Amino acid sequence: MTRTKKLFVAAATCLMMTTLEHRAKVAPGAARRSTVRKSGVTVRTRKRLRSTVANQRSEFLRLCRARIKPSDVGLPMARLTRSGGLRREDVAAISGVSASWYTWLEQGRDMRVSDDVLERLSETLKLSEDERIYLFTLVQGRPPRLRNATRMEAPPDTIRMISALSMPAIVMNLRWDVLGWNKVNSLIYRDYATRAPTDRNLLEILLIRPVQPALAQTGVHPARLRYSSVLAPPVR
């Protein structure tokens, strides 16, 4: 064998080994391939690796389900599982969802879940407030809406400041709930004292409520009116 042929064989062998090593490696988060044989035909399927958040969600739901005894939710003790807690079917039935759907959720599948369903799951699994926030974060990637939150009042010094102004002024939080107003605002625009505390959201008033007759004559929509507002700390 000549020197040129030896170099060609060595280069081809090196290239083949490099290709085999590259195929053997699986990048993190990449899809795994598996081979399934059906009716004499080989079918290649792709199975994605679960993310860290999906694994945490699966483990969290499993632990919460295992700590609840069937007797705690009115089920007979004959339904005991290996862990001594509820079965997936039990959690699904109490929460008002199908067993397959809850199984997919606990398996960490990528799926959309509404606030209402997560609230029912939180009640079924008897989650604390911190655990409820953790569940929403794992599933929706954000904390839940405030529950049983007390309405914040405007700071007294802020009320004194807007009361001294000679122009309409209101105090709002980050949700646009009106927390305070001065007398000039009540005379020119609206008196919030005549509205219930839950009916003082400025966005709803401007965009949903009908236009007031006095403003309708001017042809100006209330949403275009300029308010001198002082933002209070957001409601927590």
Ordered domains of the chain (ranges, CATH) = 52-140 (1.10.260.40), 156-231 (no CATH)
Q: What is the mean pLDDT of the chain?
A: 75
173 with 154: CB under 8 angstroms? no
pLDDT at 144 over 70: yes
pLDDT of res. 214: 47
What H or E segment, with its residue span, contains residue 31? Answer: strand 31-38
d(CA 222, CA 132): 39
Q: What is the pLDDT of residue 148?
A: 58
What pLDDT is stored for residue 102 in this prediction? 93
42 — pLDDT class (breaks 50, 70, 90): low
Distance between CA atoms of 232 and 151, rounded to whole angstroms? Answer: 12
Residue 110 scores a pLDDT above 70: yes
Decide: 43 and 128 in contact? Cβ < 8 Å: no
Q: What is the mean predicted confidence (pLDDT) over 42-52?
A: 61
pTM: 0.47
Does residue 85 surpass a pLDDT of 90?
no
pLDDT confidence tier of residue 82, bands split at 50, 70 and 90: low
pLDDT-derived band at 207 (thresholds 50, 70, 90) equals confident
- Highest mean pLDDT pick, 50-59, 176-185, 213-222: 176-185
